[in-house]
Structure 1
Amino acid sequence: MTISLHADAHATGTELTHFWSACVGAGRAAEGLRAGWQEHLRLVRDAAGFRYVRFHGLFHDDMFVYRKGADGQPILNFQYVDDVFDRMLQAGVRPFVELGFSPGDLAREKATTFWWGAHGSPPTDLGQWAELITAIAEHWVHRYGLDEVRSWYFEVWNEPNLNPFFRGARSEYFDLYAVSVTALKAIDAQLRVGGPATSNFVPDGRFAGEHEDTSQHAVVAEAKDLDSLDWQPVWVADFLEFCHSRSLPVDFVSCHPYPTDWALDGHGNTQQHTRASDATTRDLRTLRALVDASPYPDAEIHLTEWNSSPSPRDHTHDHLQAATFVVKANLESIGLTESLCYWAFTDVFEEGGAGDTVFHGGFGMITYQGVPKPSFHAYRMLNQLGDELLIQTEGAAVTRHRASGSLSALAYHYPAEVTQAPPGSFDGRSVAQDVLATGSPRRLRIELTGLSPRSSVTIETLDAEQGNAIAAWHAMGAPEPPTREQTVLLRKAGHAVGQRVQLADDEGRFLFDEEIPSWSVVLIRQDRDTQ
């Protein structure tokens, strides 16, 4: 089956917002103090245009924000937070502030999750929590100016429906949100606050909120076709109802629509289920309809974590299919959300400790050593699209840059043989490699007309041989660890997508008509100074 599109440079377009570039994730605040993290941030900001960064651990003990003195009074120290935020702002990105987890001296339980021992429990004193929120927000206003801080987002906690991240009842989270949003709005009503930042979507809404003290969600183990069920976001409807009943503001709604789900059944057993390849888009439509029908129809929607799976040891993340899935899910979700935040931009990431190998399946689109993975190019290519959508079909879209009038097209081949999101590859690389070998070439035909005669058009190709750093690593014998010289070569290979330049004909017509391999991504961009 051919992917075919025709677009005229002078056709009427519709506004296209780059929601895929709005926000990107990172592990925890303290990792932002490292040189590698900062270098990778500048790289993805320049290439992919990310505008916000979200991470855990803002109040963790390694940031030294909060401790109690011998007299029991709080001692506040914002120097480390200032360091991270200063460098982010200098790099051209803003914080998407996750308010969490509890500082050790304010936590009901300590070291409940992650290698670094996040204190995932409610604060022992909501009044002292509110004082902390007030103090740090006032500090930010003083340091960065009110107009700047108004441009940030403030998200209350992370995944409070999951036991390791919030050892408390749903009602306790709702109370935490209430005191947090009240404290921030008391400083300035235009500060943007939201939640509930829950994970994940569950079938038919089971365990999505009806049980007050259920800290995990469930699936129906006997269901024969989970994808045929109605998947609903956890707690969101109840959260909005609670806020409305208390007259609390909600500037944005957040949750985490991972298409691969680990859910507890009624007996405490885990079950893994990889959903259909269009699960992300279906979830966003569901969430959009829920918010539109709620008392908060003007609330923005921010999906503040998303990836093909929620595992930091899934080798799929290192492979080409991760990039194809990124492009597919984002193009199919145009108009449904304000952000779909890829988790995460770098493998400087220690939820489970350091990765044991260069390619260890980490979330990042850049390895610890600074080697770009294919997912990096997915976002770089998405960022090359224009701000007007001219035409779209399954597998491709053509856009126009309003300022220059030049066109950009992006296409992908997600093979029909794979009906699910990319299956996770957790116990090694074999599943990822088998999936990468699935599928047959597909013809791609994109015709652009109305261009300037003989204008220059650049074609970039991301596939198993081009821009695929792990293939280059295997070709050099999979060295572990690579030498300094090998690392330089891997970085070059990671950046080296296929690229060639062609010209439109004398009538201003350009035609791309070729077979492209499975999992490949093709960017066609008219040079802006030739239109």
Structure 2
Amino acid sequence: MERRNFLKQAIVTAAGSALLPGITKAGAFWEDTPLVIDGKGPGKGFTNLWTKTIGAGRASEGLRANWLEQLQFSKKHCGFEYARLHGIFHDDMFVIKNNNGTTVYNWQYVDEVYDKMLKSGVKPFVELSFFPKDISSGQSSQLWWKAHVTPPADFVKWTDLVTNFAKHIIEKFGIEEVSTWYFEVWNEPDQRAFWDGTKQQYFELYKASATALKAVSPRLRVGGPATGSFGADGKGVWIEEFLAYCATEKLPVDFVSTHPYPANAGQPRELDATSKDLLWLNGVVRKSPFPQAEIHCTEWNSSASVHDAMHDGLPVAAYIVKVNADSIGLVDSLAYTSFSDGYDETGAGDAFHGGVGLVNNFNIPKPSFHAYRMLHAMGDELLYNKDGIVVTRHKESKRLCAILYNLPAAIKSVPMGAAEALFSVGEDRAFNFKLSGTHPDARFNVEILDRDNGNALKAFKDAGSPESPAKDQAQTLQQMAMAVKEGQILASTTGILQVGMTLRSWDVVLIEEVK
């Protein structure tokens, strides 16, 4: 990536004895900097919630070469540990067939997908769904690929399926490996699109599934209810009832899962809706009969729509950073949906169609990708998180890392489908602070993500928004999408880094110590 002069947009100043290209020497102005962040101060250790899990679409998509390429690309740059797939038991995975009255299981496609994931350094966050046609009790199906969502009259066949599945993956991958996976029962049973049954029937499905898994090995981790929304009252649907049911039935709950999308009936909520939802969720779980249960938000995005122009643009990147930073310590994971636009819930789309992926179908990264790449650079001790400044420290190396973002406070949430209009919202914002406690003359890399850098959407539109970019067009857009504005700054001889920048609305900046 080409190094560019920061002074086109911002001033980044270091008071060191040596200055690098693109940097202006500090003046007396910096002596009066009011905010000082102590890089050696007591930090708050935390579990990294942003790279734990990533949404990965439908299981059969994992058989595609482009899916694997994008998974590996996302793993390399963003560090995702787990990936969650819909429909591991769906008909297009061919896991079950009736052979003259005898049930026969075939795990060939399941093995292929999981082999690809594990060889890429990504573990399965298993979603037990959907019903194979031979198990579903009705004709109700959803989405163009016809996910069977009607629960059977009894769960004998389902229990047998889950039992044989668990035995097989342990035999193939080993209990030491499989015991590190997660097994989530179903997907959004509170949504008619994914569950043509009652709440009580879902609870019975959970009972059958959890009992079957633990019978194979008590080391397998199971959880739910994987519900798909929070109510207008800020409470996660079914969460409290699910925990009460499991306590009454003496069922295991190794983790609690839900999907805190920041919208109700498609209408955006307040800017901090997600962090408020997660604060509520954390409180409920900690006060429940399962206070040690992990908390995994296995789907999340600025909206659940797979055709939301916001997903392709810059504003969502600042939103991602804010929500994740504000959710530190509340949950164990907040899984973005998804790493790829190949997630074809409603069919294929154009090159930029508002898909939920970090990367589009032509392998062009979006600003959301850079948000996760920058978050991946952060440490595991939180030093400061306020007013668009997040500073962390790596516990082992003591490296310091900061992210700055300008997310206009006037926006209640990142609105659906209004990307272009948002650029006129908000004002430029000056960031001015000192970071003390670093090494004398310490070197910091600086990256700026804005509407002109690390963002290929404008160039795509200038080229006429081709439905299917030619090979050379796609390559050029890929290069532009990766090219954030870069430079370096130095700390002073006394180990103080002085930073002064003006960010336009939605800009995101990474400042990372080099060792």
Residue correspondence of structure 1 range 63-462 to structure 2 within 5 A? 63-69=93-99, 71-110=100-139, 112-203=141-232, 230-262=233-265, 272-355=266-349, 357-418=350-411, 420-425=412-417, 431-462=418-449
RMSD: 1.3
Distance 1:189 1:287 in 2: 26
37, 40, 49: which is aligned to 2:70?
40
Question: Match of 1:56, as an amino acid?
Answer: H
Q: SS of the counterpart of 1:20? A: coil
Q: Deviations over 1:392-450 (max 9, x none)?
A: 213111111122221000111101221x110101xxxxx21101321110011232222
Q: Deviations over 1:90-122 (max 9, x none)?
A: 110100000001011111234621121111121
Q: SS of the counterpart of 2:124? A: strand
Greater displacement, 486-495 / 506-515: 506-515
Question: Match of 2:486, as an amino acid?
Answer: Q
Q: Deviations over 1:219-276 (max 9, x none)?
A: xxxxxxxxxxx311111111111111111111111111100222xxxxxxxxx32100
Distance 1:116 1:350 in 2: 9
Q: Structure 2: give runs of 5+ residues left out of the alignment.
A: 1-32
Are the aligned partners of 1:16 and 1:386 in contact in 2 as well (CA < 8 Å)? no
Are the aligned partners of 1:4 and 1:444 in contact in 2 as well (CA < 8 Å)? no
Distance 1:179 1:59 in 2: 16
Distance 1:387 1:240 in 2: 30
Are the aligned partners of 1:9 and 1:406 in contact in 2 as well (CA < 8 Å)? no
Distance 1:126 1:57 in 2: 18
Distance 1:128 1:333, change over 3 A: same
Q: SS of the counterpart of 2:275? A: helix
Q: SS of the counterpart of 1:508? A: coil
Are the aligned partners of 2:407 and 2:506 in contact in 1 as well (CA < 8 Å)? yes
Question: Match of 1:511, as an amino acid?
Answer: Q
Distance 1:22 1:176 in 2: 26
Question: Match of 1:261, as an amino acid?
Answer: N
Distance 1:4 1:149 in 2: 51
Distance 2:433 2:482 in 1: 25
Q: Deviations over 1:277-316 (max 9, x none)?
A: 1000000011111111111111111111100111101111
Q: Deviations over 1:31-79 (max 9, x none)?
A: 011111101101111111110000111011111111212x222110001
Q: SS of the counterpart of 1:253? A: strand
Question: Match of 1:450, as an amino acid?
Answer: G
Give how far 1:479 is off: 2.6
Are the aligned partners of 2:140 and 2:150 in contact in 1 as well (CA < 8 Å)? no
Distance 1:7 1:466 in 2: 28
Distance 1:7 1:62, change over 3 A: same
Aligned to 2:54: 24
Question: Match of 2:358, as an amino acid?
Answer: M
Give how far 1:5 is off: 4.8
Greater displacement, 391-400 / 77-86: 391-400
Question: Match of 1:10, as an amino acid?
Answer: K
Give how far 1:526 is off: 0.8
Q: SS of the counterpart of 1:164? A: coil
**Pair 1:49 & 2:79 matched:** yes
Give how far 1:16 is off: 2.5
Q: SS of the counterpart of 2:487? A: strand
Q: SS of the counterpart of 1:19? A: coil
Aligned to 2:26: none
Q: Structure 1: give runs of 5+ residues left out of the alignment.
A: 204-229, 263-271, 426-430
Question: Match of 1:54, as an amino acid?
Answer: R
Q: Deviations over 1:158-207 (max 9, x none)?
A: 0111112111111111100001000000111121100000111112xxxx
Q: SS of the counterpart of 2:392? A: strand
Question: Match of 2:414, as an amino acid?
Answer: P
Give how far 1:10 is off: 2.1
Greater displacement, 378-387 / 123-132: 123-132
With structure 1 as the length reference, what TM-score do the two structures score?
A: 0.89
Give how far 1:124 is off: 4.4
Distance 2:94 2:194 in 1: 20
Aligned to 1:268: none
Distance 2:161 2:178 in 1: 17
Aligned to 1:226: none
Aligned to 1:479: 466
With structure 2 as the length reference, what TM-score do the two structures score?
A: 0.92
Q: Which structure has the higher relative contact order (CA within 8 Å, separation 6+)?
A: 2
Q: Deviations over 1:1-43 (max 9, x none)?
A: xx98532332221213211110010210000111111011011
Distance 1:276 1:303 in 2: 19
Distance 1:125 1:439 in 2: 56
**Pair 1:518 & 2:505 matched:** yes
Q: SS of the counterpart of 1:21? A: coil
Are the aligned partners of 1:5 and 1:393 in contact in 2 as well (CA < 8 Å)? no
Are the aligned partners of 1:412 and 1:521 in contact in 2 as well (CA < 8 Å)? yes
Are the aligned partners of 1:174 and 1:239 in contact in 2 as well (CA < 8 Å)? yes
Greater displacement, 192-201 / 5-14: 5-14
Give how far 1:125 is off: 3.8
Matched residues, number = 483
Give how far 1:123 is off: 3.2
